Amino acid sequence: MKKLLSIVLLFFSTGAFAQIGLGSGVSGVPSTLNCSSGFCSAPCAANYTRLGPNFCFRTVAQSYLSLANGCNTISAPSGANAVLLAYFMTVTGIGAAGSLNLLAVNSATSGACGTPLSNIELDIREDVAELNIPTARVGGQSIVPVFGGSIFLNKTTNSVGTGTLFQYQIDGYFD
C-alpha cells in the first residue's frame, strides 16, 4: 500500500498529471485549446479575453442598447452557453398619483418568448402625478442562457407617454 501511495504522489508531484489534456499529443484532445493557469478552454470570440475557466470578458468599449417592447432576439458571442448581461432600467411616470408603474424583462428559450426562465422587474408607485418623468432607475447584471446562438428577452411595461427604458450590453460570456 505504501508503494502505491508513493507512486501516486510521485506521479502528481512531477507534473505528469498537469500535462494530461493540454492537447500536446494526447489522443482525442483538440490542439486548438488554450491552456494557461492550469485549465484548458477554447479561444474566446473576437473582442473578448479569458478571465478564468469557461468565462470570456469583453475587452472593447461598447454602448448600451435599448430593448424594444415585446420579444427580442439578441445574438450571443460565438461559443457562448450563457451571457453576462449588464443593464439599466428606467421607469417613467404614467401621470396618475398612486399608480404602480412597472418594467419587466424575462429571458426565454425561444424567439416566441413563451415560458419565462428568469425575471428582472422594477416596480414603483407615483407619489404625485408625474407624466413622462423618470421615477426610478436601477442597474445590475444578470446571467442569461443562450439557445441556438441567441438570447431571447421579452420586455413588458404598463408605462405610457415616453415609456420605460431597458438598456443592456453583453459584458462577457460563459462557454
Burial class (CB within 10 angstroms; exposed 0-12, middle 13-18, buried 19+) of 120: buried
| 55 and 93 inside one domain | yes
User: Tell me: the pLDDT tens digits for 12-51?
Assistant: 333 333 333 333 444 444 445 556 555 566 889 999 999 9
Sign of the C-alpha dihedral, residues 8, 10, 12, 18? negative
pLDDT of amino acid 67: 93
| 92 and 129 inside one domain | yes
Coil, helix or strand at residue 10 = helix
Among 7-21, 63-77, 115-129, the range scoring the smallest mean pLDDT is 7-21
| 148 and 92 inside one domain | yes
40 in a structural domain: no
User: Tell me: the pLDDT tens digits for 118-148?
Assistant: 899 888 888 888 887 888 889 999 999 999 9
Q: What count of Cα atoms within 13 Å lies in the side-chain half-sphere of residue 171?
A: 12
142 in a structural domain: yes
Work out how many domains the chain is built from and give that number: 2
160 in a structural domain: yes
* CB proximity list for 104: less than 8 A, separation 6 or greater: 119, 120, 121, 122, 155, 156, 157
Among 3-12, 71-80, 95-104, 154-163, the range scoring the smallest mean pLDDT is 3-12
The CATH number that applies at residue 125 is 2.60.120
| 14 and 88 inside one domain | no
Q: Are 56 and 48 in contact (CB under 8 A)?
A: yes
Backbone angles phi, psi at 152, to 5 degrees: -125, 120
| 53 and 88 inside one domain | yes
| 26 and 99 inside one domain | no
125 in a structural domain: yes
Mean of the per-residue pLDDT values for the chain? Answer: 79
| 128 and 74 inside one domain | yes
For the whole model, what pTM was predicted?
Answer: 0.73
Tally Cβ neighbours within 10 Å of residue 94: 22
| 102 and 161 inside one domain | yes
Q: Are 74 and 150 in contact (CB under 8 A)?
A: yes
| 22 and 98 inside one domain | no
| 92 and 151 inside one domain | yes
24 in a structural domain: yes
**How far is it, in rounded angstroms, from Cα 58 to Cα 152?**
20
| 64 and 148 inside one domain | yes
Coil, helix or strand at residue 88 = strand
101 in a structural domain: yes
36 in a structural domain: no
For range 80-90, the mean pLDDT: 95
Q: What range does the domain containing 144 cover?
A: 48-174
| 59 and 89 inside one domain | yes
